[in-house]
Structure 1
Amino acid sequence: MDTDSDVSELDPKELSEALLYDKFACQLGYVEEPETPLTAETFPSKSGGRPAWLNPEHILTAADVTCGNCEQPMNLLLQLYTPEDQPAEAFHRTVYVFCCKKGGCVKLDWTKSFKVYRSQLPRENPYYAPPVDLDDENENENIKAVEQFTAKSFKAPTKCVICGLGGSKFCGGCGLTAYCCREHQTLDWDKCRHKEFCNKTLKTDEQETVDNLRSSHIFLEKEIVSEPEGKDKDEEEEESQAAFFKENNPGEQSDSKALVLAGDEHEEDTEVAVDDVFLQFQLKIQQNPDQVMRYDRVEYNMPEREPLWVQANYKPESIPECDRCHAPRTFEFQILSTLLNFIGIGHVAVNSLDWGSLFVYTCKENCTLGKDFFAQEVLWKQDFSQDGMQLGRKKMQPIISPT
């Protein structure tokens, strides 16, 4: 968008469309097939695949993301590149979400089957040249600094050829292929044809076959792109009616029921009362049904934001403060169940992976990581309630605090 353009130059249609966007509008995420490899230096936001580590010298291991139910390493579900202005250390910032691929584990105890980590780097760091701001008065100096930048030389950590986590185990045959755990070593040997190709130089088509076999055991990789959420037509009409009422009835309190769109009226206490939260979720999602993520970070002077809950009852009673700096954790983004349609999850099996929505909360202050390089954050999971799905009367469920 050209920030120097005069809005008076827009025609009425363009102006009305421009005004649909709230300055604090939620960012909606959509998946696309990547046009180029999603490597660390491109600072990608993506679902599935192997992690593109923001800090290439320090990466997570299987011990950091082991499922507490099956004791197997989790897979990368999603990573978002979310740079922030404050503090300076969060100039580059990525949030990683890991998930056990076994739906049975998630159904058994979901709190043990998800992990979230935050990673960040300042603008001046040893791995990436500082970006050039074309509007900066010191543009020439910045360009010169980029041209003179030399990335730090270091021994890259070995990565598991299956999942991309830190790999400390090596094939006993070739001594070159690394794994994060014995289970992935066995998987690669038996099902990914390493037994056949160990100590051999692979042809291009053979290497492609092996790569595809290895990738089939993790979530499919897709790029995540975003755009701001606009107001839907119902919201526009309600606001228009409210503005009209206020203009023509100064000093009077409007009756909210009078502002309900024709055909949308419903009685509050009927025998077929529905889960209103679920209905609100449906109405909101159907405006952009392909969205897989909603990014709604609370920062700076923004008002408090509520996630788009999928049911009324199973909400966290409280979110634990950051265990590093004791600042509050605030809602940052949620992952919708629509993502499951794009990452290679079959919906037929009884124990297939499923959720209503996953809510990620992170340290509001983006506190320093120091020598830990990663900070663990908090995730909350909601499922669609049976009452909401069946549009029947709902029963109260206990609210459970996160562990």
Structure 2
Amino acid sequence: MPTITDMEEEMIENLHLQDDDDVEDDDEDEDESSDEEEDVHLGFLDDLKHPYAQSKAGGTPVWLDPINIPSGNDSCCGVCGNPLQLLMQVFANIDDASQRTLYVFMCPSMACLQQDQVEQRNSKPCRSVKVFRCQLPKKNPFFSELGVPLSSGVALCSWCGTWRGAKICSGCKLARYCSRQHQVSHWKSGHAANCRKIQSSSMTVAAVSGLTVNQNSSELVNGPGSQVDCQVKAASTGLWPEFEVIDKYMDDSDSGDSNGKVSTNAIEDEQEKDGEFFKNFINMEASKDQKHWASFQERVANNTSQVLRYCWSKNAKILWPRLGGQPQNTDIPNCTVCNGPRYFEFQVKLLSDAWFNMILCGNNLEQKSLCNR
């Protein structure tokens, strides 16, 4: 996993959460009323200052309900079958639920992410991106109003620290795993030697059953009756870098073009980035797709490091980077509980900043928006 440079660290320290004021949309096919932007909040990354941050990116999740954790096929990629990793968790309380968190998980394989786009319109899609929602009343048995854990949870996987550790190592009887894949990964990364040491030592399962997780090695998992931490120090070094998505608001009135027109400079700047090909294109009439892309670039120009766009409104609109691939309302299934329509609430933006560059890990991918509907 690449390391963060000094310049990237300085950039991350200056990131914050802002309001995205109304910006006109240049899409010629939409009504003028679509230019009325709802109250959109932009999320930015910052150093993680609290282990139980309500909104965070990367690392391991802070489960709002540490007992009822998704398991089985829900926790795995529908394409390759491997366990998913936390991309971001978003704290989004509403009137009916003062404790409400949305968890976005994604498969580490970029090939699976691309396949996910193909699968979205299938009646029974195999998804490599999944979103889980958990909401609790103000008074609940798991977290205080200040966000402090109140009770124990299930033992988590020693390797990923994310999913329920339902499988126990047959050797040491201490390490737990959510899947065969993570058991093998942990074994190859050093647990083989540690497992033998534990077996040859005088320590017994009974002697350590009341201990909490060893924060250095993640070898010990909580036994029956012990106070299980809501977060486990995962043994895996392959988790995505962990940051906090902080809650701060600032004026963003300069975002976008005041007259709603597409700036030719925005198109030309994008062309120059790709070298000689775009030199022959600058003087050509821009297509509808190119204008849409330029409009998208203008919209995020003043906040290029944003990683989250959130809007709690039935009239909220997705900021699409491209015209192609946008789902129709008929492509979006109704709620499986009440059978009512689903509405857009937030989108995660995979833009070119330090954190997401490390997520992409050199894969040649275009900019993505993962929208929760």
Please, which of 210, 222, 228 is the counterpart of residue 243 of structure 2?
222
Match of 1:383 in 2: none
In 1, distance between residues paired with 2:83 and 2:266?
48
Cα distance, 1:45 vs structure 2? 0.6
Shift of 1:65: 2.1
Question: 1:179-190 counterparts in 2 under 5 A?
Answer: 179-190=177-188
Equivalent of 1:336, from 345, 349, 372?
A: 349
Q: Which amino acid aligns with 1:320?
A: P
Flag the structure with larger Rg.
1
**Residue aligning to 1:66:** 76
* Structure 1 residues 34-113: aligned runs within 5 Å: 34-37=48-51, 39=52, 42=53, 44-85=54-95, 87=96, 90-110=97-117, 111=119, 112-113=127-128
Aligned match of 2:326: 315
Equivalent positions of 1:26-41 (< 5 A) are 26-37=40-51, 39=52
Encode CA deviations 1:228-256: one digit per residue, 9 max, x unaligned: 46222654x43xxxxxxxxxxxxxxxxx8
Distance 1:335 1:131, change over 3 A: closer
Letter in 1 for 2:60: R
Answer yes or no: is the 8 Å Cα contact 2:84–2:105 preserved in 1.
yes
Q: Distance in 2 between matches of 1:263 and 1:349?
A: 28
Tell whether the 8 Å contact from 1:62 to 1:73 is kept in structure 2 after alignment.
Answer: no
Equivalent residue of 1:342, what SS?
A: helix
The more displaced of 177-186 and 65-74 is: 65-74
Q: Find the aligned partners of 2:234 and 2:141 in 1 and give their Cα distance.
A: 35
The answer for unaligned runs of 5 or more in structure 2 is 1-17, 23-36, 120-126, 204-213, 221-231, 269-283
Query: What value does the CA root-mean-square deviation take over the aligned residues?
Result: 3.8
CA distance in 1, matches of 2:138, 2:351: 34
Task: State whether residues 169 and 181 of structure 1, in contact with CA within 8 Å, keep that contact through their aligned partners in structure 2.
Answer: yes
Q: Write the letter of the residue equivalent to 1:195.
A: A
TM-score by length of 2: 0.67
The aligned residue for residue 154 of structure 2 is: 157
Distance change in 2, residues 1:331/1:109 (3 Å): closer
The answer to whether the 8 Å contact 1:27/1:226 transfers is no
Could you give the per-residue CA deviations for residues 191-230 of structure 1, whole angstroms, max 9, x where no partner exists? 2x111222179xx996399998834222221111244462
Q: 1:186 to 1:195 in 2, by over 3 A?
A: same
Q: Does the aligned pair in 2 maintain the 1:49–1:215 contact within 8 Å? A: no
How has the CA–CA distance of structure 1 residues 349 and 294 changed in structure 2, closer, same or farther, with 3 Å as cutoff? Answer: closer
Of all paired residues, the percent bearing the same amino acid is 31
- What's the offset of the Cα at 1:47? 1.1
Change (3 A) 1:67 1:262: closer
Offset of residue 290 of structure 1: 1.2
Q: 1:284 to 1:186 in 2, by over 3 A?
A: same
8 Å Cα contact 2:110-2:363 kept in structure 1: no
2: CA distance between counterparts of 1:265 and 1:170?
A: 56
Change (3 A) 1:180 1:20: closer
Shift of 1:181: 0.5
Alignment of 1:317-396 (within 5 A): 317-318=328-329, 319-338=332-351, 341-342=354-355, 344-349=358-363, 355-361=367-373
Residue identity opposite 2:50 in structure 1: T
d(CA) in 2 for partners of 1:290 and 1:69?
30
Given the alignment, which residue of 128, 136, 140 partners 1:125? 140
Output one character per residue of 1:37-56: Cα deviation in whole Å (capped at 9) or x when no partner: 2x2xx5x1111111110012
- Structure 1 residues 345 and 286: alpha-carbon distance in aligned structure 2, compared to 1, 3 A threshold: same
- TM-aligned CA distance change 1:313 to 1:79, over 3 Å: same
Shift of 1:338: 1.8
- What number of residue pairs does the alignment pair up? 289
One-letter code of the match for 2:64?
A: L
The Cα of 1:313 is off from its aligned counterpart by 2.3
